[in-house]
Structure 1
Amino acid sequence: GNSKYRPRIINTGIEWSFIQFPDNQDVLDLISAKRTGILSLLDEQCRLNTCTNATFANQVYSTLASHDRLEANRTQRANNRFTVSHYAGPVEYTTDEFLEKNKDELPQSASELLSRSQANDLLVQFGANMAMMDSSKKKGLRKSLHSSTIASQFTSQLKMLSTRIDATTPHYIRCLKPNEDLIPNVYDKAVIADQLKCNGILEAIRVSRVGYPQRFLIQAFVDRYSILHGSKPHRTKAGRPKIRNEKEVCAQLVQNIVKQLLPKPAAVPPLAKNFPCPSPSLRRLGSVKLAKENFEQRSFRSKPAYDFASIGIQIGKTKVFLCQKAFDSLERLLSERKSSAATRINAIVRGFLGRLRFHKLMIEHLRALEAAKWAEDTTRREVQAQKLSAMRRAREEEEVKRAALRMQKLEEHRQKRQPRRDLINKFNEFSRSARQIKSPSPKKYRWKQVGPNWIKSEWFEVP
């Protein structure tokens, strides 16, 4: 209830207006309170061998007759019944078989059936359980009944569940019947609405909307919503803000977030244009004053004092408290910022991949151009080589033709000169034959010096 959570809320260091809502703590105390609760009275009656369902009902009447949530008229007392006013409405209970069901003892017929079983494993297990029950009865009936009743088991399990829920952040799943007749594919809105109302879900939603249902540790809040920071805070190498106090970082972050949530104020026109000064001296004095006022206004606008509590955000000693409306707004901003960041990242990645593809296509295009140029150059060189080869062959053929013509001309010229050569040959033969005729030996001469001169004189050999 409010009284239970009031000290916890005050210790958080936030402003809190306590909400009045139907409190079921008195019903819980009626059922599970120690010594005076219905379950405690039921366990106490189970410990006594002489008690019956009627004595249990009388004990409930005598102990809890003054409780506001329990009613029992004469007719109900005569039939061992009583009514408990729950949140959903009054429920009538009858005490018939309360003690037997609470003791959770094995029926005699079932014991006889198990003892006559032919399965060895079942007999061994049944014998061990019976021996354990006998030993517990010998140690003390009071202790064994207290530890084995359905009510005690329910109480201990409920305490364990409450401890576990307090230590975690559970998410509840409520099962609802679509209709009273259990017909498939039939949805009765009235039945659903009645179940939501009786289960307290609508009231829980109302309380959750009015209060601060969303709570984060300060560091968890900063880590989750730091992306909404208007300007990038100075951070260390580890990525943490340089401000050591996490609460200051959180307050700065919340202030920037609130700027985004609140509507932007209208622009204030410059005061110098609205109030011009007539004289130069007054203009200088007025410009100084106006500049000072304008600076103060800008300073006031740059650092406004936002009331976080009116927006639905409060910073406690260790946690940040958010009302549902503020939480929905933060989640919307976070979703928009993430969507924008995802779009930008997607655009950057797509641009990078597009540039890679363009670079690849450019390389392939350049390679294709280079290959085409190389093929063109190769073809041009081959054509030029073929032309040069054809020109060389044509020149060689021309030279062969010229040589043949020269040979032909020489041959014709030789044939034309052949008679002359024959005549010359005949003359030469005649000359050689004529020289073979003996002729006088030629005269021999020698040089002889006559005075200062040399003269050639005939020389005769002496036989």
Structure 2
Amino acid sequence: MDGHLMPPGDHGEVTDATRQFLHYRYLNQSECYERRDGVKDSDMFRRVMDAMDIVGFTQAERAGIFDILAALMHIGNLSFEHDENSDRLGQSMGPGAGKSDLAPSCIWSRDAAATLMAVDATKLERALSVRRIRAGTDFVSMKLSAAQANNARDALAKALYGRLFDWMVKKINHFLRMDDSEKAKGGLHFIGILDIFGFEVFPKNSFEQLCINFANETLQQQFNDYVFKAEQREYESQGVDWKYIEFCDNQDCVNLISQRPTGILSLIDEECVMPKGSDTTLASKLYRACGSHPRFEASRIQRARGLFTIVHYAGHVEYSSDGFLEKNKDVLHQEAVDMLVYSTREDSFTRTLCEGLGGSRDRAKSSPRQRAQTSKNRGASVGLQFKEQLTTLLETLQSTNPHYVRCLKPNELCKAGIYERERVLNQLRCNGVMEAVRVARAGYPIRLPHDVFVARYFSLKRSKNPLLAKKQGTSFGLPDTDSDEGMAVISSEAKELLKELLDVIPKENDANPQGACERPDQGQFTTKCISVGIQMGFTKMFMKKPTYELLEEMRSQRLHRHMIKIFYAVLCVTARARYLKYLHAVKTFQIRFRYKKQQKLRRRRQIMMTRKRNAGKVQGFIRTVVQRKKFVCFLAVVRLLQCRFRYRRRMRAKRTEADKARKLANLKREQQMQAVTQYTESSTASSDSSPRSVTSHSNDIEGSGFSDVSSDYSDDMFTYNDNFPKHNLNTVDEQSSQLMPRASHRVSLRKSQSIDSITPMGGFRASQMHNTHGSQGQLVHTPGSRSRLPSRKSSFRNTRSSRAVALPRLDVIQHTSWVNDEDRFSCHICNKRFNMFKRKHHCRACGEVICNSCSLYHRIQSRSMRVCVSCVAFHSLDSPTSAGSTGFLRPGGGSAHSSNSSRKTSNGSAPDRNRSSTLSSGMWLNPWPEPPYPVDEEERLTVLRELNIRELGLSGKFNMYCEVAAKTMKCPIAYVSIIEDEEQLLVANIGMAHTTLPRELSFCAHTICQPSVLVVLDTKNDERFRENPMVKGDKGAVKIRYYAGATIFSRDGHALGTVAVLDTKPRREADQEHIGMLQHLSFLASEKMTQSTIQEDSDSEFL
């Protein structure tokens, strides 16, 4: 029935959903479009999709499954119409020769099926309508008849559906597979459900119904063997008194169908192999071979129509031999296999299903044995394959413990609520249920081995088990069952136990009120056992279900009583253990309580004794403080009176010395002018005789002249910090003669050096040296006289080298001189702002507010005090007592303590003469190397005199440069300075409490002698600064370890000062970006500094 060719009107009024079924041949053959049970296919489809998600089917796999199913429905709609006689065997055909025999109405279904299968439509049609036959080395293509093409179509559909079914089963089994570890532990354990086909009886039964009914016969025979035959064999082997029960044995029916070589399936296979075999010859052969079998029937009318009847256990079924051979063959042609294996797209789902199907190319590459095996597998008939699968199923069932659930059909209409009694009863008889019930009634379903029976019910014995008391045998107290002796002992014990149970069971079972004899013989024992429902076999005990339930109830009651006793015993033991635990805890608590009480009393007595001792100490301390306060007040008054007395005495001495110095200065000025006049006259007189020498001497004189402004370049122009007193950094000569003004003393030294330089010209030096240098060391210019700057190699070097410089000692200032911490929001050294995690501290040496990271502890005046790193670096850590004994060197080999004695000597005394001779020697007295001098030192100093240095120091123009340099270079100390002839003046600084430094100690004295930036990564590794007091210190002292400075130049290119940074930590390498920033700051400072000039009133006052 081809539903797709029928008009919709022929089927009456149908819905749109029903009309879709009519277009597919494989769906409209049953003419049933709605389920009788009312289940909707849409609901079932959703459940199937959910189940596929759970099992693990991917979206692509589900799409491939539905594509294959849709392709199968379109393949079923294909129909071939060419004539069978139009083809001849051996007629050669090209790949595209001949007209297509496919019905024109099936072209769309062919294209749809080809698209869903991912194959070419022409190749699909050719695989179904043409068959290639090999003749020697050649291949001949032969068209198939319409019936053969339709059979090839159905074979392709069945093969595809079978491959899809097998793939889905494999997928589900893979999802439900066991782990390898569980397989390794033991055999494969599983729970399987077998759904039996059920008998099919139709008006016309063909080969399919024969296979299905054969499966039912085989499974029924397996059921009979398991239920009846195995049961009876078990009773006979155990020697149990058993009455044989008759049942319907269908083994002869199974043999009729499957026995070789006269079985129906074997005859069908034999006829399929015959060259001219047909369904008629098959029927004749069946009549001859099986006609005499009691299960096979065929009347004359049936023989004429090719029919036969088989007497199954469920009833008589009539079969038609028409189509048996074709359905049994059902072989998929090689052309269709090659099309599925090689013509489909590689990534298609069809190619995945057909892997391993066995194409012609794979067969050509395989060995002859493999090709023969493949041909055998592909040539096997449907009946043979079905029989082999059924045999495998039976082997699986025999290896398991089956449980049968018989499903009965209540009515023929398949509707709910209708029960046909005769139909159900007939099914019970046919299925062997009635016989199974009789076996269950007459048999003994409960079977226990003797050792298990004894171990389970020995608690019901009245006496104790002697074997259990001896603790022999297995865990149940029984001997080993592997030996014959052990089995005999167990059997005897089981029999003794059964005898006692026979006395117990009747008392509780009213079914047998008679009691057993005290010593029954074997017959009476067997009779009594049968009466109570127990029989004893050779190795097992057989019990009926009521008897088993009675024994179990008695065992439960006995165990319950024993459990109560055990429970009480356990409760007793538990309660006693809890009591002992609590008793121990109470005793421990009492001991701990007494111990704590005694400990508290002892601690209280100790506290009272400690308070008494502390009260005595506090009283003594208070008395000491009161007396010390009185002593300190008295001492302060005495010191104040002493200070006032010494101050007045010093002031009187200063005024006296000042008067003497003024007189000596006037006298020296007159003597020097006379000496200059005499030298000028002598030079003029000798100029006529030796012009060249006169010229040379004149040049030397000009080069050794004095500067007009040097005398007025006094120290009073700058404000110095009290924490770094200027007189502490003076030379030793200045400390020994503190009455001399600093500027005039510097001019006198330069004058003495210049006069020494012209000594070879005449006898001027010997006669004028002692007259020139008096005790005051001051030089006064007469009106009209002209002074010149000393030369670089004579005056400056000798003046500098005649001084021994040392750092001032670190001392403590008064608390009242500290800077108010409320006015400071950032550290004076590192300039970092204070916050709640950064505390404020005061330096005890300078009084500035600093942070914890910028401070250290040092012993000052025999006390450990907090000082900043700047004060530690720029001061000496010698205590006042040690400084007085150590001191520092002075010119002439004396010490600093000889200054008081030198002041008391007269102007013409020996110490002054020794000092004069030492000063003129030009010796460098400091342990570190002498710093160099710029080539243009004279011009540089001239430019410096034009600057308004006081304005530079008070304007604050350079403070920003110091902050930028300190933050960029990450150094705690930064400053902008001016290098004078003897001092370094700090115009602006960060991290220092000082405004001046001696030029001998300054690092910047080396910086101004080179145009580039000077960077010293570690001053201790540099020979120029290794012995510098700012670098070398005592153990634990923090000194300067890193220096970087850039020169500040004037517009004419003279070095004026530096922009420099200092750090107390050395560095490994120099950052070029930081050096560039420092160079840039020096350029900006040069522009700012050259804008400030000295005022005119200052110049006039100096002149």
Q: TM-score range by the shorter chain?
A: 0.5 to 0.7
Structure 1 segments unaligned to the other structure (5+ residues) = 267-297, 376-463
Aligned residue pairs, count: 342
In structure 1, what is the Cα distance between the partners aligned to 2:361 and 2:404? 39
Note if contact 1:314-1:321 (Cα within 8 Å) is conserved in structure 2: yes
In structure 2, what is the Cα distance between the partners aligned to 1:225 and 1:149? 58
Note if contact 2:460-2:558 (Cα within 8 Å) is conserved in structure 1: no
Select which of 457, 469, 478 maps to 1:241.
478
Note if contact 2:338-2:360 (Cα within 8 Å) is conserved in structure 1: no
State the superposition RMSD in angstroms: 4.9
1:210 aligns with 2:431: no
In structure 1, what is the Cα distance between the partners aligned to 2:498 and 2:242? 19
Secondary structure at 1:125's aligned position in 2? Answer: coil
In structure 2, what is the Cα distance between the partners aligned to 1:362 and 1:327? 51
Secondary structure at 2:525's aligned position in 1? Answer: coil
Which 10-residue stretch deviates more, 20-29 or 113-122?
A: 113-122
Q: 1:173 to 1:114 in 2, by over 3 A?
A: same
Secondary structure at 1:314's aligned position in 2? Answer: strand
- Look up the equivalent residue of 1:119 and give its one-letter code: E
Write out per-residue CA displacement over residues 360-385 of structure 1, whole angstroms, 9 at most, x where no aligned residue: 5898799899999xx9xxxxxxxxxx
Q: 1:124 to 1:225 in 2, by over 3 A?
A: same
User: What is the TM-score with the length of structure 2 in the denominator?
Assistant: 0.27
In structure 1, what is the Cα distance between the partners aligned to 2:360 and 2:559? 64
- Look up the equivalent residue of 1:314 and give its one-letter code: Q
Q: Which residue of 2 aligns with 1:256?
A: 500
Q: Which residue of 2 aligns with 1:22?
A: 248
How far did residue 207 of structure 1 move?
Answer: 2.4
In structure 2, what is the Cα distance between the partners aligned to 1:228 and 1:100? 70
1:201 aligns with 2:433: yes
Secondary structure at 1:171's aligned position in 2? Answer: coil
In structure 1, what is the Cα distance between the partners aligned to 2:236 and 2:304? 49
Q: Which residue of 1 aligns with 2:265?
A: 39
In structure 2, what is the Cα distance between the partners aligned to 1:45 and 1:199? 33
How far did residue 198 of structure 1 move?
Answer: 3.0
Note if contact 2:457-2:555 (Cα within 8 Å) is conserved in structure 1: no
In structure 2, what is the Cα distance between the partners aligned to 1:137 and 1:118? 27
Note if contact 1:146-1:152 (Cα within 8 Å) is conserved in structure 2: no
Q: Which residue of 1 aligns with 2:536?
A: 315
Note if contact 1:226-1:253 (Cα within 8 Å) is conserved in structure 2: yes
Q: 1:174 to 1:259 in 2, by over 3 A?
A: same
How far did residue 32 of structure 1 move?
Answer: 2.3
How far did residue 84 of structure 1 move?
Answer: 1.5
- Look up the equivalent residue of 1:85 and give its one-letter code: V
- Look up the equivalent residue of 2:356 and give its one-letter code: Q
Secondary structure at 1:262's aligned position in 2? Answer: helix
In structure 1, what is the Cα distance between the partners aligned to 2:409 and 2:253? 25
Structure number with greater CO (CA < 8 Å, separation at least 6) is 1
- Look up the equivalent residue of 1:29 and give its one-letter code: N
Note if contact 1:230-1:257 (Cα within 8 Å) is conserved in structure 2: no
> Where in structure 2 are the equivalents of 1:225-236 lying within 5 Å?
225-229=457-461, 231-235=463-467, 236=471
Q: Which residue of 2 aligns with 1:67?
A: 293
Write out per-residue CA displacement over residues 107-130 of structure 1, whole angstroms, 9 at most, x where no aligned residue: 689647625422354465334598
How far did residue 27 of structure 1 move?
Answer: 1.7
Note if contact 2:328-2:382 (Cα within 8 Å) is conserved in structure 1: yes
Q: 1:368 to 1:195 in 2, by over 3 A?
A: farther
- Look up the equivalent residue of 1:345 and give its one-letter code: M
Note if contact 1:84-1:90 (Cα within 8 Å) is conserved in structure 2: yes
> Where in structure 2 are the equivalents of 1:87-236 lying within 5 Å?
87-106=313-332, 111=337, 114-115=340-341, 116-119=343-346, 121-122=351-352, 124-128=355-359, 131=362, 139=372, 144=376, 148-177=380-409, 188=419, 190=421, 193-229=425-461, 231-235=463-467, 236=471
Which 10-residue stretch deviates more, 218-227 or 67-76?
A: 218-227
Note if contact 2:532-2:547 (Cα within 8 Å) is conserved in structure 1: no
How far did residue 63 of structure 1 move?
Answer: 1.0
Select which of 536, 540, 556 maps to 1:338.
556
Q: 1:349 to 1:89 in 2, by over 3 A?
A: same
In structure 2, what is the Cα distance between the partners aligned to 1:187 and 1:109? 52
Q: Which residue of 1 aligns with 2:282?
A: 56
Q: Which residue of 2 aligns with 1:306?
A: 525
How far did residue 231 of structure 1 move?
Answer: 4.0
Q: 1:349 to 1:112 in 2, by over 3 A?
A: same
Note if contact 2:334-2:360 (Cα within 8 Å) is conserved in structure 1: no
Write out per-residue CA displacement over residues 84-133 of structure 1, whole angstroms, 9 at most, x where no aligned residue: 22222212223343334434523689647625422354465334598569
In structure 1, what is the Cα distance between the partners aligned to 2:399 and 2:355? 41
Note if contact 1:103-1:145 (Cα within 8 Å) is conserved in structure 2: no
In structure 2, what is the Cα distance between the partners aligned to 1:360 and 1:113? 85
User: What is the TM-score with the length of structure 1 in the denominator?
Assistant: 0.57
In structure 2, what is the Cα distance between the partners aligned to 1:87 and 1:44? 27
Select which of 307, 315, 333 maps to 1:81.
307
In structure 2, what is the Cα distance between the partners aligned to 1:102 and 1:255? 64
Note if contact 1:47-1:146 (Cα within 8 Å) is conserved in structure 2: no
Which 10-residue stretch deviates more, 129-138 or 8-17?
A: 129-138
Q: 1:93 to 1:140 in 2, by over 3 A?
A: same
Q: Which residue of 1 aligns with 2:1043?
A: none
In structure 2, what is the Cα distance between the partners aligned to 1:187 and 1:201? 22
Secondary structure at 1:84's aligned position in 2? Answer: strand
Note if contact 1:69-1:85 (Cα within 8 Å) is conserved in structure 2: yes
Note if contact 2:502-2:516 (Cα within 8 Å) is conserved in structure 1: no
Secondary structure at 1:126's aligned position in 2? Answer: coil
Note if contact 1:70-1:83 (Cα within 8 Å) is conserved in structure 2: yes
Note if contact 1:241-1:249 (Cα within 8 Å) is conserved in structure 2: no
In structure 2, what is the Cα distance between the partners aligned to 1:173 and 1:131? 46
In structure 2, what is the Cα distance between the partners aligned to 1:158 and 1:311? 43
- Look up the equivalent residue of 2:437 and give its one-letter code: I
Write out per-residue CA displacement over residues 318-340 of structure 1, whole angstroms, 9 at most, x where no aligned residue: 44444xxx244124422441365
In structure 1, what is the Cα distance between the partners aligned to 2:321 and 2:539? 49
Q: Which residue of 2 aligns with 1:409?
A: none
Q: Which residue of 2 aligns with 1:352?
A: 570
Q: Compare CA radii of gyration and give the structure with the larger one.
A: 2
How far did residue 219 of structure 1 move?
Answer: 3.8
Q: 1:341 to 1:217 in 2, by over 3 A?
A: closer
Write out per-residue CA displacement over residues 219-248 of structure 1, whole angstroms, 9 at most, x where no aligned residue: 454455555555443223344336731332
Secondary structure at 2:518's aligned position in 1? Answer: helix
Note if contact 1:136-1:144 (Cα within 8 Å) is conserved in structure 2: no
How far did residue 159 of structure 1 move?
Answer: 4.1
Q: Which residue of 2 aligns with 1:394?
A: none
In structure 1, what is the Cα distance between the partners aligned to 2:360 and 2:457? 57
Note if contact 1:12-1:316 (Cα within 8 Å) is conserved in structure 2: yes
In structure 1, what is the Cα distance between the partners aligned to 2:310 and 2:478? 57
In structure 2, what is the Cα distance between the partners aligned to 1:13 and 1:301? 25
How far did residue 70 of structure 1 move?
Answer: 1.6
